[in-house]
Chain A
Amino acid sequence: MSVILSIVGLVKTFGGLIATDNVSLDVREGEIHALIGPNGAGKSTLINQLCGELVSDAGTIHLAGRDITHLKTPDRVALGLGRTFQITSLLDELSVLENVGMAIQVREGHNFRIYDLARGRRAVWDEARGFVASSGLADRADIRVADLSHGEKKQLELIVALAMKPRLLLLDEPMAGLGHVESQAMIEMLSETRKSAAMLLVEHDMEAVFALADRISVLVYGRIIASGTVDEIRNNPAVREAYLGAEDELC
């Protein structure tokens, strides 16, 4: 399997704090690579470096063989990078359908046109309706995002990301704050997504990680202390020591 995302020696420091300490990892085509680690390990920092919101101090990032280390977020998105936000970040004044439509409209281009009708771009809206109809928000299409529940916003984050047809998805805690039923639905959605996009999954919910991940990397104090298959990580003593602590239980 070819490598879609390859990170080599990535570093990010904030003043004296090393948030990302020489991190190297890769995500292969069609794979879900989970990134786990205790709070403050630097997972979100790494995600923000990958999507271009933070400039890396050293190291390289390659997406599908292209060096994207110095590209801005929109340029990375154009090359097939998608993401979801840990704290949902959507267009609150618009409806579910319009949020999805915006992503497709941007993907399709022609957005400097000042005399067309955005509502009249049929290809965009047909596709958007398709995405929403086949999702868990099918009967919520016309609800404003501001009026959605937390779980629904989390779902919409993923639908919007998928509507951009990314080759690689960065998922920043898609399960955070979801109830059990919602989590199950999200796990199902993600395993469906596996067919179309590789994923780097940052997640605290171990049930989800073990259900979805092909490989797991463990980040502690900005450094990857172990990387391997689910079973390897489960039985790795260093991981149990550093990440799971004395509780000796997969939270």
Chain B
Amino acid sequence: MRNRILALILILALAALPTITQELGEASLLALATRILIYGMAAASLNFILGYGGMVSFGHAAFFGIGAYVVGILASHHASGEPLFGIVPGTDQMLLTLPLAVLVAGLFAAAIGALSLRTGGVQFIMITLAFAQMLFFLFVSLKAYGGEDGIIIRRTNALPGLNMRDKATFYYVVLAITVLFFYGLRRLTQSSFGTVISGIRQNERRMAAVGIPAYRYKLYAFVLSGMGAGLAGALMANFLRFASPDMMHWTKSGELMIMVILGGVGTLFGPFLGAAAFLILETFLAAWSEHWPFALGLILLVVVLGTRGGLAALVQRITALVRRGVK
């Protein structure tokens, strides 16, 4: 009950944000908030396999980038009027592009996961990284879609009845999707599948002994996670009106992983906190010095060593203290 009230307060606060930033005249804060929500979803998707499933994927930006490219490629075909592969017409309707981005990212995740999950441990980390870099170079060489310059999307995808060019409207759409995403993720972690995947992380041998073929379950989790990252990528392409190979570069995978670790591995809220902390620090430290990654590194070190469990653990400890204080 208390959690529900907290969630409601958080949603209301986020819903009030465009009004507040407008009053303050800080439009860039709204853009930052939109990015935090989108990256929060991408990091939470990674966290599902990394934190709940124990699969350290170092190539998760691939699915983020695939989602972005689905939006970008469909938009460019819509603009030129030429169908993709001569049959698929382009579109700028968000109700079509988002599900398609999720679907295509899921297919890529199925293919990459099917091969990567035959390994484990360090090999798994390296092979997911290798696949992501392969896709990166594939898109760099795709001159039809801008090569390394990427695709500029002329107009944000349309939703019936909404003016998607308005920054606040787009923010509300992202917020609504984030709330649904978050609710779905919560259900997922509490589902039969979610408990089995968490069991596999704790002890794969034990789960085999009670009759769980781990590979199939891990693959399913990997696909779901890729789909989540694809959704985030599609939204990011809409937000930036741009899709480029940089979105699937290994450093982007690293950033997603930093968000997860900073926020708290294997926690529901952690990745959102991590994304917020990372992007806020990046924004303000970059304004302060061009050597901002150095300061970021130090802060990351302090958080990881000091909180033992990331920001989510820190928040939990503080609320526990406050509650004890109230009593």
Contacts and interface: CB of A to CB of B under 8 A. Distances in A.
B19 to A, nearest CB: 34
A75 to B, nearest CB: 8
A91 B213 contact: no
B212 A74 contact: yes
Interface string B180-215: 000010011011111110110011011111111100
Nearest to B209: A83
B125 to A, nearest CB: 23
A118 B191 contact: yes
A77 B209 CA distance: 7
Contacts of A113: 191-193
Interface string A53-90: 10000000000000000001111011000110100011
Contacts of B212: 74, 106, 111
Interface string A203-224: 0000000000000000000000
A106 B196 contact: yes
Contacts, number: 91
Give the size range of A's interface with the partner: 35 or more
B211 A164 contact: yes
B194 A118 contact: yes
B56 interface: no
Contacts of A110: 192
B172 interface: no
A96 to B, nearest CB: 14
A241 interface: no
Contacts of B209: 51, 73, 77, 82-83, 85, 89
A112 B220 contact: yes
Given A105-B195, A111-B196, A74 B203 contact: no
Interface of A: 51, 53, 72-75, 77-78, 82-83, 85, 89-94, 102-103, 105-107, 110-119, 121, 160, 164
Interface of B: 184, 187-188, 190-196, 198-199, 202-203, 205-213, 217, 220, 224
Given A51-B209, A89-B203, A111-B193, 19 more contacts: A74-B208, A74-B213, A77-B208, A77-B209, A82-B209, A90-B203, A91-B202, A91-B206, A105-B195, A105-B196, A107-B211, A110-B192, A112-B193, A113-B191, A115-B187, A116-B192, A118-B190, A118-B195, A160-B210
26 contacts: A53-B208, A83-B209, A85-B205, A85-B206, A89-B203, A90-B206, A91-B202, A92-B203, A93-B202, A94-B202, A102-B210, A105-B192, A105-B195, A111-B212, A111-B217, A112-B217, A113-B192, A113-B193, A114-B188, A114-B193, A114-B194, A115-B187, A116-B192, A117-B190, A160-B210, A164-B210
